[in-house]
Every structure is written in structure tokens, then in C-alpha cells.
Amino acid sequence: MDYHFNFTIVWRHAWRLWWGLGLSLQIALASLAMGMVIGVVLAVAYTDGRRITRMLIAGYVEFIRNTPLLLLVYLVFYGIPSVGGFAYDATTSFIVTLGFYAGAQLVEVFRAGLDAVPPGVVDAGRAIGLTPLRNLFHVRLPTAFRVSLPALSNAYVSLFKDTALGSVIAVPELTHGAQWINFNTFRILEIYALLTPIYLVTGWIILAALRLLERRFAIVRPQ
Amino acid sequence: MIEAMIYALPFLGQGFLVTLAVSGLVVAGSLVLGLVLGTALAFGPVWLGLPIRAFADTARAIPLIVLIFTVYYGLPALGVNLSPFWAAVAALTLFKTGHVIEIVRGAITSIAAGQMEAAKAIGLSFVDRLRYVIFPQAVRRFLPPWINSVTDSVKGSALVSLVGVVDLMMAIQQVIGRTYQPMPLYLLGAIIYIAVNASLSVTSRRLEARFARVVAS
């Protein structure tokens, strides 16, 4: 192997990586928030709704789950503005795409969470005179949320990985920064030797941090 | 909308075949590698298990697109020149192998330890124990998540378009480049991907139901 590693040029542009890492984490957070709203609303609608509602929600989930994310990214960024007669910037479009993508996964997560609420707890809520709406907000959703926490942490890490696809529509996130350095300095191996550990280590750190948070909110706390 | 879709269809056939070829190669390659490495992880000594675990965790923790770029741009710098097609297949296979290792290990370790001990007690060799006792039981736990991961491979194969392989995704982009009508083409693409994946999901559900019955009886 006669490749000579030279990191000096890469360090000169390394700010693009740190900046991109920050943007990646923010995109993941924003789309997780959007996905959670979609997920909670649709999960409640699915659990309490009628057959037609259920079919529509199942259709949305199946559409997102069986389509490549890359296609969805293109569809939202190039497709929808072409028929809608409006435009939005790449980052907004990408966050919306990931939000709907996360929403489809989180519907399933929250639905399982709602199903996991013991019927006795719901009955108890009814017995003390809570209206169905109050029962939902004070009893069912808080319990379901705590059951769903581990799945939410995994969803965040997985969304963080998926932000790498933003590079195809020039969202200046981590992978896009790396590609910029790759194409402008040709220090190919250096940049990918940096990029891979950045994704790995960041993923580990967020997962470890979120596991601590889960323990804080766990229903049964380890003594 | 519909005319644009019908106009595009003949141009997508070739790309669709490439998508199927990439998915097929990746699924087959990762199945073989994953079975071997996953079994080694479940039964092998620590010095063998550690590197496999490290590989599986790394492959699953970095974005697929980064892995594809690393292989496609990185290997030539090391003096290995692969065509875009094979570079993409290699990267996707590495990624998928990480997942298959996990599925295989999970399926094997879900079989009660008593089964292995009983097989040992009646004097079966290690290979025979795997072949006649462990694998026939583990395959029930293996199939449903594995077929889900096949769906993921079909979806993931769309990423090969980013290194210039003319798969279904790239064929769609090329037609859009001529007609300037993105929406019908992307919807058509979604329909095709959904058709392939839905048929896989149906198969998976059928297998699940079939094996659930076997276990229950």
C-alpha cells in the first residue's frame, strides 16, 4: 500500500464536520419531535378510531415503510414543489421528510405503548370520574409514553444515522461536509477514516445518555 | 399523470432488473457470511467472537450511505479498482451481514441450552448437533426478521444510484431528466418498490403464521 496519510489539509476544513455534526443532531431532534406528534395523534386515532381511520393510517405506515428513504427525500424536495407551485429550502424539506418517516415508525411504537397500558388502570381512571379525554391525557398517554421510551431512544439514534441522506439534496450536514472535503482536497481515506468514527462515537454517546434518561423515567425504578 | 407513468415504464425495466440483481446478490452474500459469522459468534471462543461482535456493531452503527462512499471512493485509493456496481454490492453486503449476524445469533441463543446438552448426551458431533437439532428449531425464529431485512435490502439498494449504478432509482432520475415531470415518476417508483416489498411482507407473514402453528402444536 503506497497511500500516504496526510491529515493537515483535512484539519483545515474540519469545521465543516463539527458544524455538520451539530446540524445532523438538530435535524434528527426536529424530525423526532415532528414524528412524535404524528405518532401520538395517529396511534390514538388508530386505537380509538373506526375502521376507515385505521385503514388510512395503515396505508400511510405501509407507504413509508416500503419506500426507500432516498425516494421519499427526492419526492418531497423535487416532486411536491413541482406540482404545488411552491418551494422550500433543502433543510426544511429534509426535516419534513424525516419527520413523516419517523412518524410512520412511531405510530407503531405508541400503538404498542397504548396497548401495553393495563386495562385495570384505564378502568380505575374511569372509576374516579375522568372523562375519556382526561383519561387519555392523564392516564393512558403518560403510561404509554414511559413504556415507549427505549424505542424512542433507538428512533433518535436511527434518525441521526438517516440524516446522512440529506447530503443528496445538499443539506450541509455531516456527510455533506465530509463529501465537500473529499471532493475539494482528494484526501479520500483520511476523511472517511474520520467520518466513520464520528458517527460511531456520537451514536454510542447519545444512546448511553438516553439510557440514563430512560432509567430516570422508568416505571419501576431499580433500587 | 397516468400518461407520464405509462410513457416512463419501458425505460425502467433495465433499472428494475439491476435493482433486483443488487438486492439478490446482497441478500445471498450476506446470508452466507451472516450464517457463518453468526454461528461462530454464538458458539465460538471469545477471541473469535470479539472481532465479529465489533464488526457487526460497527456495520450497523454507521449510515449505509457513508459505508457505500467509503468503499467506492476509498478502495481505489488503496489500489483496488472495483466497478461502481461491485463496490456498491460489496458495501451493501457488509452492511447487511452485520444485521444477519445479529438475527442468526438471536435465533440460535433463543433455543434452550438443554437442547444442545441433550444432543451432546446422545453422542452427536458438533456439526450434526447444529444440523439436526439447533438449526431446524432456530429457523423459525430466524425467518420473520430475516425477511424484514430482505425488504430493507431492496430499499437500501436505491442508494447504489448515488455512485452511478443505473438501478430503478437512477432510471427514474434519468426519465425525469428528459420529461421534467418529477411527481408522476417518483410516485411510480414508490409503487414499484412497494409492490416488491409488499409481496415480501406477505410471504413473511405467511411464514410466521405457518411456523407459529408448528410451534403451538
Distance CA B11, CA A129 (A): 63
**Contacts (Cβ under 8 Å, ≥6 apart) of A95:** A27, A30, A31, A34
Note down the domain range covering B159: 2-216
Residue B214 in this model has a pLDDT that exceeds 90:
no
Residue B96 in this model has a pLDDT that exceeds 70:
yes
Q: Is residue A3 part of a domain?
A: no
Residue B215 in this model has a pLDDT that exceeds 80:
no
Q: How far is CA A174 from the centre of its chain?
A: 16
Share of chain A above pLDDT 70, in %: 97
Averaged pLDDT, B149-166: 93
Binning pLDDT at 50, 70 and 90, where does residue B48 land? very high
- Position A221 scores a pLDDT of 53
3-state SS record for B67-100: HHHHHHHHHHHCCCCCCHHHHHHHHHHHHHHHHH
- Identify residue A192 by its one-letter amino acid code: Y
pTM to 2 decimal places: 0.90
Q: Is residue A2 part of a domain?
A: no
Chain B contact present for A175, CB below 8 A: yes
Distance CA B115, CA B191 (A): 45
The single residue listed with the C-alpha cell 379525554 is A133
Residue A75 in this model has a pLDDT that exceeds 80:
yes
Q: Is B194 within 8 Å of A80 when comparing Cβ atoms? A: no
Q: Is A71 within 8 Å of B189 when comparing Cβ atoms? A: yes
pLDDT tens for each residue of A137-168: 999 999 898 889 889 999 999 999 999 999 99
pLDDT tens for each residue of B50-63: 999 999 999 999 99
Q: Count of domains in chain A?
A: 1
CB atoms within 10 A of CB B4: 17
Q: Is residue A223 part of a domain?
A: no
Residues of A with CB below 8 A from B174's CB? Answer: none
Residue B44 in this model has a pLDDT that exceeds 80:
yes
Q: Is B155 within 8 Å of A67 when comparing Cβ atoms? A: yes
A55 neighbors B156 (Cβ within 8 angstroms): no
**Contacts (Cβ under 8 Å, ≥6 apart) of A194:** A10, A14, A17, A178
Chain A contact present for B177, CB below 8 A: no
Q: Is residue A153 part of a domain?
A: yes
Residue B110: helix, strand or coil by DSSP? coil
Residue B110 in this model has a pLDDT that exceeds 60:
yes
CA distances in angstroms from B160 to A69, B66, B122, B127, B167, listed in the order given:
13, 12, 50, 38, 7
Q: Is residue A222 part of a domain?
A: no
Most A CBs within 10 Å, among B26, B55, B70, B201, to test the A interface: B70
Distance CA B45, CA B58 (A): 20
Q: Is A68 within 8 Å of B156 when comparing Cβ atoms? A: yes
Nearest to A168 among B151, B156, B162 (CB): B162
Chain A contact present for B48, CB below 8 A: no
- Chain A nearest CA to B117, separation (Å): 34
- Position A6 scores a pLDDT of 82
Q: Is B194 within 8 Å of A67 when comparing Cβ atoms? A: yes
Chain A contact present for B53, CB below 8 A: no
What is the DSSP code string of B124-169? --HHHIIIIIIHHHHHHHHHHHHHHHHHHHHHHGGGGGGGT---HH
- Position A217 scores a pLDDT of 79
Distance CA A85, CA A187 (A): 41
- Diameter over CA atoms, chain A: 77
The CATH number of the domain holding residue B146 is 1.10.3720.10
Chain B contact present for A208, CB below 8 A: no
Binning pLDDT at 50, 70 and 90, where does residue A39 land? very high
ipTM of the prediction: 0.90
3-state SS record for chain A: CCCCCCCHHHHHCCHHHHHHHHHHHHHHHHHHHHHHHHHHHHHHHHHHCCHHHHHHHHHHHHHHHHCCHHHHHHHHHHHHHHHHCCCCCHHHHHHHHHHHHHHHHHHHHHHHHHHHCCHHHHHHHHHCCCCHHHHHHHHHHHHHHHHHHHHHHHHHHHHHHHHHHHHHHCCCCHHHHHHHHHHHHCCHHHHHHHHHHHHHHHHHHHHHHHHHHHHHHCCCCCC
Note down the domain range covering A40: 8-217
The CATH number of the domain holding residue A187 is 1.10.3720.10
Chain B contact present for A200, CB below 8 A: yes
Residues of A with CB below 8 A from B198's CB? Answer: 62, 66
> Of A97-111, B54-68, B73-87, B165-179, which range is least confident?
B73-87
Nearest to A70 among B58, B62, B158 (CB): B158
Most A CBs within 10 Å, among B12, B66, B73, to test the A interface: B66
CA distances in angstroms from A153 to A149, A160, B97, B196, B210, listed in the order given:
6, 11, 24, 30, 33
- Chain B nearest CA to A95, separation (Å): 17
